[in-house]
């Protein structure tokens, strides 16, 4: 099944907004439409090879970003193709567990949501409402969904769970664009509400995950593999506690009094603060974002001047704060001595970066390690 005949090679440069990217083709910069609303932090990094298709619509974006290189293969980013792929694979009886089903209808409205497919068992006539989710967030052996908070995805789970009372089974198929993964989990670091709903509905919804291996030209799916969902590991690991990073920006040079630490000089640029909360992690992060609060920690004083760009929770049952600080020290451009670390042996818990760390492959590797690759299932 060929997705597109003539793919164009390019280089990713920068994501300008949710759906527009700056790219380079044969050394010439231009723009491309990104048909994927996810964060894609682990994939869209400057210098990555990409595959593009021409945009036939009359627009200022002459190309569509189709796929991105990751390790030794390309990851399909064009989510609009996923439903077409799964529909064809069901017809070809190639998806484990769906060999006896046929597609009855596409884009069906149930309750207050639209779902991708209605399937029917060709022998028993049992029907399934199938929702398809594209998964592009993964490490070496584990894939997770979503890579950004999805209220729509949570709503889908809640409404599919109701179908159990309507004598129609709800089913969610996570399609992982990495052939090497062994396990799938909801992204509990990223979307706690989706994860909570995933666990609550596991007895009412059929959850399945598969991984796909394409040939380099996206003309043939060479491998379809069922991926395990370790529910027992998830229920043990998922809790509102762990470490977190705050990604901060300071627009100009500032002299700031940091409590008992005294007056410190801060260069303009980006800062990463690492902290932990072994109870009520989400509450701690929300406190940092509040404008009006008592100045208690070093970071409270700094946040009078610095802006939080984003927060990165890392849910864990063990304390990771100091270990993360040591790894940030290896890749940062500077640090504020003893900031946030007066109660431990770390040099600091506030690190300076001249450029946005979210666009750094070393920083993204660090996040991927603590969120995914350190996990042992």
Check pLDDT > 60 for residue 1.
no
Check pLDDT > 70 for residue 317.
yes
* Nearest alpha carbon to residue 70 among 35, 45, 36, 39: 45
Residues of the chain with CATH 3.40.1350.60: 80-237
User: How many CA within 13 A on the CB side of residue 249?
Assistant: 9
Band (2; pLDDT cuts 50, 70, 90): low
Mean pLDDT of the chain: 96
Compute the Cα dihedral for 330, 336, 337, 339 and give only its sign.
negative
By the 10 Å C-beta count (0-12 exposed, 13-18 middle, 19+ buried), 149 is classed as: middle
Specify the pTM: 0.95
How large is the average pLDDT for residues 248-268?
Answer: 98
Residue 152 per-residue DSSP state: H
165 vs 71: which has the higher pLDDT: 71
How large is the average pLDDT for residues 195-207?
Answer: 97
- Cis peptide, bond prior to residue 160, ω within 30 of zero: no
* Nearest alpha carbon to residue 42 among 172, 190, 175, 156: 190
Fold of the domain spanning 80-237: Trna Endonuclease; Chain: A, domain 1 (3.40.1350)
Instruction: For residues 250 and 252, give the distance between their C-alpha atoms in angstroms, rounded to a whole number.
Output: 6
Give the pairing type, strands 63-70 and 169-176: unpaired
Is residue 7 within 8 Å of residue 218, measured between CB atoms? yes
Instruction: For residues 214 and 3, give the distance between their C-alpha atoms in angstroms, rounded to a whole number.
Output: 11
Is residue 243 within 8 Å of residue 275, measured between CB atoms? yes
pLDDT at 6: 83
By the 10 Å C-beta count (0-12 exposed, 13-18 middle, 19+ buried), 22 is classed as: middle
* Nearest alpha carbon to residue 35 among 140, 175, 134: 134
**CATH classification code of 8-73:** 2.40.50.580
Using only the alpha carbons of the chain, give its radius of gyration: 23
Band (335; pLDDT cuts 50, 70, 90): very high
Instruction: For residues 65 and 53, give the distance between their C-alpha atoms in angstroms, rounded to a whole number.
Output: 7
pLDDT at 355: 98
Check pLDDT > 70 for residue 87.
yes
134-159, pLDDT tens digit by residue? 999 999 999 999 999 999 999 999 99
Three-state DSSP state, 249:
strand
Non-local (6+) Cβ contacts of 160 within 8 A are 115, 129, 131, 170, 171, 172, 201, 204, 205
Residues of the chain with CATH 2.40.50.580: 8-73
């Amino acid at each position: 099944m060929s997705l597109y005949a003539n793919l164009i090679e390019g280089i990713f440069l920068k994501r300008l907004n949710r759906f527009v990217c700056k790219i380079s083709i044969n050394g010439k910069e231009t723009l491309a439409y990104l048909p994927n609303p996810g964060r894609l932090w682990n994939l869209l990094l400057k210098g990555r090879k990409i595959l593009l298709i021409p945009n036939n619509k009359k627009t200022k974006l002459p190309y569509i970003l189709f796929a991105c290189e990751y390790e030794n293969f390309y990851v399909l980013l064009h989510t609009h193709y996923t439903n077409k792929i799964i529909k064809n694979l069901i017809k070809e009886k190639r998806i484990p567990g769906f060999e006896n089903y046929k597609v009855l209808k596409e884009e069906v409205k149930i309750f207050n949501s639209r779902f991708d497919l209605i399937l029917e068992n060709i022998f028993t006539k049992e029907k399934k409402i199938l929702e398809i989710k594209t998964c592009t967030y993964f490490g070496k052996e584990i894939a997770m969904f979503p890579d950004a908070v999805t209220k729509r995805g949570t709503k889908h789970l809640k409404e599919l769970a109701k179908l159990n009372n309507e004598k129609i089974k709800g089913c969610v198929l996570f399609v992982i664009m990495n052939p090497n993964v062994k396990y799938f989990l909801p992204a509990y670091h990223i979307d706690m509400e989706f994860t909570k709903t995933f666990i609550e509905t596991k007895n009412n919804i059929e959850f399945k995950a598969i991984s796909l291996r394409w040939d380099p030209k996206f003309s043939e799916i060479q491998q379809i593999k069922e991926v395990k969902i370790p529910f027992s590991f998830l229920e043990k690991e998922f809790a509102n506690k762990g470490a977190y990073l705050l990604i901060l920006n300071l627009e100009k040079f500032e002299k700031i009094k940091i409590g008992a630490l005294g007056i410190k000089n801060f260069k303009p640029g980006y800062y990463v603060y690492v902290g932990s909360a072994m109870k009520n992690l989400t509450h701690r992060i929300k406190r940092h974002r509040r404008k009006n609060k008592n100045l208690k920690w070093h970071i409270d004083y700094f946040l009078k001047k610095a802006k939080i760009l984003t927060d990165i929770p890392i849910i864990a049952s063990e304390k990771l704060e100091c270990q993360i600080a040591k790894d940030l020290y290896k890749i940062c451009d500077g640090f504020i001595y003893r900031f946030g670390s007066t109660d431990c042996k770390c040099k600091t818990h506030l690190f300076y970066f001249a450029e946005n760390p979210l666009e750094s492959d070393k920083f993204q590797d660090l996040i991927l390690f603590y969120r995914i690759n350190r996990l042992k299932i």
